[in-house]
Each structure stands twice: as C-alpha cells, then as structure tokens.
A = this chain, B = another copy of it.
Amino acid sequence: MITGTTRLFAILADPVGHVQAPQMLNAWFEAHDVDGVFVPLHVHLDDLDAVVQGLRALHNLDGLVITMPHKTAMAALCDDIGPAARAIGSVNTVRRTPDGRLVGDMFDGHGFVAGLKSQGIDPRGQRILLLGAGGAATAIALALAESGAGALTVANRTRSKADALKACVQAAHPEVRIEVGQPDPRGHDMVVNATSQGMKPGDTLPLDTTLLEPAMTAIEIITKPEITPWLEQARNRGCRIHIGRHMLQAQIDQMARFMLGEAAGA
C-alpha cells in the first residue's frame, strides 16, 4: 500500500519496458518490511542531467538503479562514487542522502561473487576463463581479483577491449595473474560467460564446448533464458553449472541495502 510516507526508489532506463528491477526490488521491500516503492523512469540520455537535477530535489527519494544507456553518464553526475565504480567508470546504483547528495557505486562484480558464494562456490585460488570484456566483464574481473582468484584468462572477439580490461585489473590488483587469451577452457577450473551470446535464439556458442571437462564449473550471467545453450551442453558434459539468477538475486540484495544506507558500498 503506497501512502504519503512511502519512500521512493526508481530505475533510469531507455528503453524501460523490459526492466525487471521494479518486480524484484518491490518484492525485496515487501519481504523486508520497507515502506518503499520502486518505479520505472523512462529517460533519454540527452535528458539525464535535467532529470537528475529534479530527482535531487525529491526529499522522499532514497535511491536509483541505473541501466542502459545511463551507467557511464550517471557516474559523472554523482557527488561521490565507490572504488568499483571508479575503476569501471560507471555506476548501476545511486543512494540519495537526506541533503540531496548522490553517491554511486557498481554492484555487477560484487553481486557476481556473492552469487557464487551463495551456492558454495569460492573463486579463491581458482584458474578462471572469462569470456567477454565489456562493462559487466570488467566489474566481474575486478571482483574476482579482489576475491583472490588464482589466475584469470580474458577472451574477447575485440582484442583491444580485452587488453583494456587486463590493464584495469592490473592497475587495481597488481598481485593477480591475468592474461589475454583464447576462449579455450583447457587448464581452467571455471568458465564465466560475460558476453551476451546465448540471450537470443540462434546465437553462436561463446566457446567450443567439446573442450569442457567434468571438473570445470560453467558459470553464466544471462538470466533469460535460465539455461543458455552452452550451459546446457556443459551440464551434459558433467560440469557443475551456475545460472545467472544467482548473480541477479545477490545484486538486488546489495543494491537495496546500499540505497537504504545499510552498506557503505561495493
């Protein structure tokens, strides 16, 4: 029941029709007895400055979730951003403090690791093949490095983006072994798909699944479909699989607590 005392939370997106955050965060608020409502805001990138200026002045607004195409532009509009957001250059969550300051952070990476741990999977000491080198892959690589991953191999169709990801991780975590390589799982304990390959029917596989071995863990961040084609094949080859929903659920929890001021940030 929304009343005059209900606190406000919103997602900024364009397009907005497909976003899942309203359903997930309203369910979180209900489960945690928070008098809050989470709504979608359809904002064009050109209008982001004006919208954020207005949102700063809403005294019952506590937080924002940021998605395409606003993650990078929003980082520049925050008064303060956390270390993960600074390293990646974008934010996906913003807390509005009572005096109207906006504090941003990025939970893709920490949500990913928390999702692994929620299923009893610890990346510490593991040799990990990371497929993809976009924003989500970079956040995940940083969080894996922070969590003590033994070695990272980054494979991406555009080599220069993989090199940039490697440089970003090395700057933040010089102790971590990270190489740019091929999408070849041999010699790894875990394979993480951080590309969008597998979302659409007919997508090519992100790697040669015949090279997967039963001791490997196959990890996905795509949530729809729940079982992507390569994950299905990995399961058939005897691998442990880890679906994208675990990352999403862990991240929703982290985002909600950050917006409510219960956590210092990622």
Q: Which residues of A contact B (CB under 8 A)?
A: 1-6, 8, 13-14, 16-20, 22-23, 26, 37-44, 47, 50-61
Contact = CB atoms under 8 A, between A and B. Distances in A.
Given A2-B23, A2-B26, A26-B2, A8 B41 contact: yes
Task: Count copies of this chain in the complex.
Answer: 2
A43 B61 CA distance: 10
Contacts of A47: 57
B39 A39 contact: yes
Given A2-B23, A3-B23, A43-B58, 11 more contacts: A3-B40, A4-B16, A5-B40, A8-B40, A41-B60, A44-B57, A44-B59, A50-B57, A51-B54, A53-B53, A54-B54
Contacts of A54: 50-55
23 contacts: A1-B23, A2-B38, A2-B39, A3-B22, A3-B23, A4-B16, A4-B18, A4-B19, A4-B20, A4-B40, A5-B16, A5-B17, A5-B40, A6-B39, A6-B40, A14-B59, A37-B39, A40-B60, A42-B59, A44-B59, A51-B57, A51-B58, A54-B54
A14 B14 CA distance: 30
Contacts of A51: 54, 57-58
Contacts of A41: 8, 58, 60-61
Give the most central of A5, A13, A37, A39: most B CB within 10 Å.
A39
Contacts of A38: 2
